[in-house]
């Protein structure tokens, strides 16, 4: 199994790891899509995405918000962190009102480095069977608000 910084990379076929970080025993990966031969898809594959909807929140923080109220597929995320400290995007396969932040475990949690950004694009996407909800916090599964909120964009169908 390939490794980045001695962290084993167990990603799905069609994705290639370009960055990895281990925080408190939790693996955070940044991937880009690849075709069946392993070649990178130009432009991150977004040209074949053909999204039906986009979501934007200029102030994502520790209030859970709904990206999509029904089942869907998340094809892309872009988040900008204005804080010096790292932030985490928590994604939930649940309606926003059904999530108790800091108690309910997110379906996925992504690191957004301090004074940095996080990007995820996938032609295959990430399936959510109930709804797509999101929040941003100071830890991968916590409830503490950031000093300054994230700018967050999502593409889904």
Is pLDDT above 50 for 51? no
Token pair recorded at residue 47: 């040209």
For residue 74, the cross-strand partners are: 126, 156
pLDDT at position 54, please?
Answer: 84
Spatial neighbors of 98 by CB under 8 A, at least 6 apart, are none
Q: Is residue 12 part of a domain?
A: no
Let me know if residue 98 belongs to a domain: yes
> For residue 27, is it within any domain?
no
| Interatomic CA distance for residues 50 and 45, integer angstroms | 10
Q: Dump pLDDT digits (tens) for 6-18.
A: 555 555 555 555 5
In a domain, 131, yes or no: yes
Q: How many domains does the chain have?
A: 1
Residue pair 122/131 in contact (Cβ under 8 Å)? The answer is: no
Of 24-38, 57-71, 90-104, 107-121, minimum mean pLDDT range: 24-38
Output phi, psi for 43, to 5 deg: 70, 20
Range of the structural domain that residue 143 is part of = 45-156
Neighbours of 17 (CB within 10 A): 17
Which domain CATH number covers 121? 2.60.290
Tens-place pLDDT, residues 98-138: 999 999 999 999 999 999 999 888 777 899 999 999 999 99
Rounded CA separation 76/84 (Å): 24
Q: Look at residue 124 in the predicted model and tell me its pLDDT.
A: 77
Residue at 99 is within a domain: yes
Mean pLDDT computed over every residue of the chain: 80
């Amino acid at each position: 199994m390939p490794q980045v910084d001695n962290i084993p990379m167990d990603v799905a076929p069609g994705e290639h790891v370009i960055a990895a970080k281990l925080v408190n025993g939790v693996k955070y990966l940044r991937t880009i899509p690849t075709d069946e031969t392993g070649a990178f898809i130009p432009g991150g594959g977004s040209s074949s995405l053909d999204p039906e909807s986009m979501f934007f929140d200029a102030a994502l923080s520790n209030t859970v918000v709904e990206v999509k109220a029904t089942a869907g597929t998340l094809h892309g995320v872009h988040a900008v962190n204005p804080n010096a400290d790292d932030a985490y995007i928590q994604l939930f396969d649940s309606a926003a009102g059904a999530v108790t932040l800091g108690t309910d475990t997110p379906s996925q949690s992504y690191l957004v480095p301090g004074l940095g950004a996080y990007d995820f694009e996938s032609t295959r996407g990430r399936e959510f069977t109930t709804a797509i909800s999101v929040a941003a916090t100071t830890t991968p599964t916590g409830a503490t608000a950031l000093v300054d909120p994230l700018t967050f964009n999502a593409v889904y169908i």
